[in-house]
Amino acid sequence: MRESTAMRTVRSAVTLCFAVCYVVNVFLRSALLDDVCIVLMVVVLAMSVFVSTGSSRLIGVILIAVSVALLLYTQAPVEEWVRALRKNADLIVMFILIPLIGIPVQHGGYRESLRGLFARRANSRGGYYSLVSAMAAVVGALISIAAVPLTFEISRESRLAGDKRLLGTALARGFVTCMIWAPTSATIALVVSVTGADWTSFAPCAIACAIIAEGVGILMTVLAGRQGKGAPVARDDADAAEEMPGSIDKAKMAELAIFSVLLIASIAVVSQMFALSAIIVVAMASVVWPLIWMFVIGRLPQYRRELKATYFEKKLPGAKNQVVLFVGAGMLAQSIGYSGIGNVIAQTLMLTTGQSTLLLTVAIVAIVLLTCAAGIHPIVATAVIGGAVDPALCGISVAYLALVLSMSWALGNTICPASANVIAVADMVEVSFVEASLRWNGLYAIVASVALIAFVMTMRGLGFL
C-alpha cells in the first residue's frame, strides 16, 4: 500500500511518541502512562502492518495470526493479551531509537580515513576479507544492517573488490558476528527477551564466539585462495590508473574506536548499576550518546540537520518492518508459553536428545539452520525455541540457552535467502539470493557451528556458562 507524505509524517510522530513515552515510564512507572504506551503501540502496529513490505510483512503477519489463534483458543484473559503485546516492547523501542547512533558514525568525518585504510592495507585475499568482515562487524554493532551497504561502498576502494564472492562472504559473515554478542543487535535483544537472560552473564563468551566465527571465515578464505577458488576479477589499466589511495587520519580512526568502546562499555555499566534491561539501556544510549559525541567533535549543527532529514523522514518510517516482525515474535513466544505448547516442544526435545546437553545443543542449532536454509527467517525458530525451552528442566543455564540461540540465529542468517543481510549482499554484488546464501556460506555455517558448539560445551564444562 502506497503511503502519502502526510500519513508517513503522522506515523513517524506517533512512533517516536511511543518510544519516548516508554523510555520515560521506565523511570516513572506510571500505570496511566503504561496504558498510554500500550494504546500507542497498538496504533503504531496497525499503521505499520498496512505499509510493511517483503518477507518481514509476511512473517510478521503470520506470527501475529498464529498468536491470536492460540490466545483465542485458550480463552486467554485481557491481561495475557496485554502481556503478549508488551513482550517485545523494549526491543521495538530500541529499534525505533537506535538509528540515531548511525548519525555520528556516518557523518562524523570518518569515511575518508576508512576508504584510505582499504585502499592501502587490503592487498591480499586474507587481509581484504579480514578488514571487510571486521568493519562490517564493528560498525554493525553500532548501526545494524546499515553497516553492510556502508562497508560495501568503502571496501570498493581495494583492487580486490572485483571478486564478488570474496566481498560478498566477507560482508555477510562479518556482519553476523556482531549478532552473536552486540546488545544493539536484533538477535541479542530478542534472545534476552524470550529467555530472560542477563546480557552481561554471557557477553564475554559471546564475544569469544564472535572471534571464533571470524577466525573460521578467515581460515576458509585463505585456504580457498590457496586452492585457486574465487580469484579476483582483474581491473583494466584505466581503472588501475584512476585508483588513488585515500588518506588515513589516525586521529579520526582513534576517535571512532573510542566512540565504539565507550558506547558498549556504558551500556554494560548502566545496565548493571541500575538493574535495567540491556535493551532499554541501548535505547536510552541511542538518544544520549550521539548528541554528546557530535557536540564534542564540533558537528552539532550537522546532527540537527540529519535528525530531521534522515532520522525523522527516513529512518522512523523505515522501522515499520521491525515493528510488525518483532511484535509478532513476542506475541508468539508469550502465546506458546500460555497455551502449553511450549511444554510439548520442550518435552519432545528432551526425549529426542536423551537429556544430553550436547545433543540438545546440536538439535537447537540444527533446527535453526535447517529452517533458515528453507527460507524461514531465524526469528521464527528462535522465538519458538526460546519461548518453549525451560533451561532448568533441560539442565542448562539461562545464559547457555541464550548464547546457543544467538549463535544459531547469526549463523542461520548467512544461509537464509530471506534474511535482510543476504538480500542486501546479493543485491550489491549482483548475484542471486541462493548464491549469496547457501552456495557461498553453507559450508561456513556447518564448520562454524561445529567450532562454536565445541567452544560453548567447553565453557559450560569450565563453569563459565
Which residues fall within 8 angstroms of residue 233, CB to CB, at 6 or more apart? 162, 163, 164
What are the backbone angles phi and psi of residue 75, rounded to the nearest 5°? Answer: 50, 50
d(Cα 315, Cα 305) in Å, to the nearest integer? Answer: 14
d(Cα 118, Cα 328) in Å, to the nearest integer? Answer: 40
pLDDT confidence of residue 116: 77
pLDDT confidence of residue 238: 39
pTM over 0.75: no
Distances (CA, A) of 317 to 7, 22, 50, 184, 323: 10, 18, 12, 19, 10
Mean pLDDT of 44-57: 86
pLDDT confidence of residue 228: 63
Return the exposure string of 41-65: e unless at least 16 CB atoms fall within 10 Å of the residue's CB, then b: beebbebbbebbeebbbebbeebbe
Residues 67, 69, 71, 77: is their CA dihedral positive or negative? Answer: positive
Amino acid identity of 99?
A: P
Question: pLDDT tens, 354-399?
Answer: 778 999 999 999 999 998 998 788 888 888 888 788 888 888 999 9
Question: pLDDT tens, 56-91?
Answer: 788 888 889 999 999 999 999 999 999 999 888 887
Amino acid identity of 73?
A: Y
Mean pLDDT of 21-40: 93
Question: pLDDT tens, 387-441?
Answer: 788 888 888 999 999 999 999 999 999 998 877 788 778 877 888 878 888 999 9
Mean pLDDT of 337-358: 81
Mean pLDDT of 312-317: 89
d(Cα 194, Cα 2) in Å, to the nearest integer? Answer: 34
Cβ proximity of 104 and 351 under 8 Å: no
- Helices 278-296 and 89-97 pack at an angle, to 10 degrees, of 10
pLDDT confidence of residue 48: 92
Q: Which residue has the higher pLDDT, 267 or 28?
A: 28
Residue 320 has pLDDT above 60, yes or no: yes
Distances (CA, A) of 359 to 209, 356, 363, 394: 19, 5, 6, 11
The fraction of the chain above a pLDDT of 90, given in percent, is 39
What are the residue boundaries of the structural domains of the chain, listed by start?
100-461
**Of residues 315, 299, 161, 322, the one with CA closest to residue 230:** 161
Ranges of H-type helices in 227-356: 237-242, 250-273, 278-296, 300-306, 320-339, 341-353
